[in-house]
A and B are shown apart, each in its own frame.
Chain A
Amino acid sequence: MALLEVEDLEVSLKSGRDLLKVVDGISFTIEQGETLGIVGESGCGKSLTALATMGLLGGTPIRVTGGRILFEGQDLSLLTPNQRRMIMGNQMAMIFQEPMTSLNPVYRVGDQIIEALQQHETLSQKQARDRAIELLALVRIPDPKNRINSFPHQLSGGMRQRVMIAMALACDPKLLIADEPTTALDVTVQSQILDLIVDLQKQTGMAVILISHDLGVIAETCNKVAVMYRGKVIEAADADDLFAHLRHPYTRGLLDSIPVADKEVEHLNAIKGRVPTLEEAIEGCTFNPRCPNVQQKCLSSYPSVAAFERGHEVRCHFPLEGNE
């Protein structure tokens, strides 16, 4: 049994009378100890997939309209709010894009970690405090004994993200969802945070879903990758396999748009055009207005999944030959 199984998940935005599908039937599984990278441009539905998994869509006009999310074989949508709360934080946890706003400004960071701990475990104040200091040390915050008394505004962005990670790890979750955890941080801090997540994963054996728009980040950290475009997974493979044999022109485009550090370039290779808005209906393959290899068939029918060796799947009528 997979740790997390997402089957044909559909997430829709209610806009007036219409339902616009933002996530359109995506499926993936993740096993204990694996790292799944979900990558795609802004608006492709990757964050919403994470929010839907964590059940954080309440109060928004966005709803899960189809499919199932199974955590250890349990359908999350069938749980009562109380049962769900038992899982949240305890079994699955999440860290967010914005370390600046994801901590409560009026509490000391230690108290926030202690609260996360006491939500699921009965600990004395002393035990909880010691554990919080351990957690801060675990996420490599220097001088944790004093830092535990800091308010969020006294910490830098990287430090706050570390505190968020410490909070998420408080109850040893089996699954950690990291929604663009490094987007708001500067580059040097980014790699530190990513290294930290990878190390912690090795130590604890948890599964991680890493959401990013940066293929470079994904390549460094993940062992499975799903590339999303307009609400669908258009290419999924093991990380090594994906980067060795790119099959989808979109993935190719994403990779080409990363500048190479030691080469002089005149201009960056961008994927032409933009992500079509949800209201725009596109006949055939949704990538056809931007695809360099577009052909007649792409304009009329949406490609079904084509499977290659080692579970490499791609949704394209004319997959690339698959070499660098």
Chain B
Amino acid sequence: MALIDTQDLYKIYQVGDVEVKALNGVSIAIEKGEFVAVMGPSGSGKSTFMNILGCLDKPTRGTYLLDGIDVTATELSKLAGVRNRKIGFVFQGFNLIKRTSALENVELPMIYNHTPAALRRKKAMAALEAVGLAQRAHHLPNQLSGGQQQRVAIARSLVCDAPIIFADEPTGNLDTKMSIEVMDLFTRLNKEMGKTIILITHEPDIAQYATRLIKFKDGQKISDEKQTPTGAKPAATEDL
């Protein structure tokens, strides 16, 4: 069974008298261990699709099975636990909590699943080590570069051992060098840790890192193809 399985998803907004179909019947299955890039112009419905996949929003119609759980039948308020266990988020704006150290930011998801403090610290340190930021554990977000902040966010997405990472324009605020660093990290997480990565981007260069490319337009999937990642450098793992 696919890790992510959507059947005929619709998301319809009522704007005055007009119905706006942000999603217009999308069916996609994603297997465990895939690295999927989702592309499309703004307004294509890719963000709406991601929000639904990320259990942040619910479709108007259609079914969505996440690791066998029928998300559409679950109340939005009950989805917090699903997000915590199954999904790690990486956002364009990093979305770290201000005035809170890198380590504490990474610990945060574990507070919500009642991990004991000592174990929390240990796992958070391990996650920071995995993204190469162990030495920066006690720095505040504003003392870190954009690339480093994004790596802290990635560490946060890893720390609960969620099988899926959703990355919404993760390189949008980064320069080329930092973007390469971050994308290499995603590639490594996909290959070495078997994480399923779903990446939203509008940059073709960034989409090249994925093994599958899905394109959206007008609320519908217009193409879905396997590809050989060309962006990933073979020596990337040593660089980190």
A and B associate in one complex: no
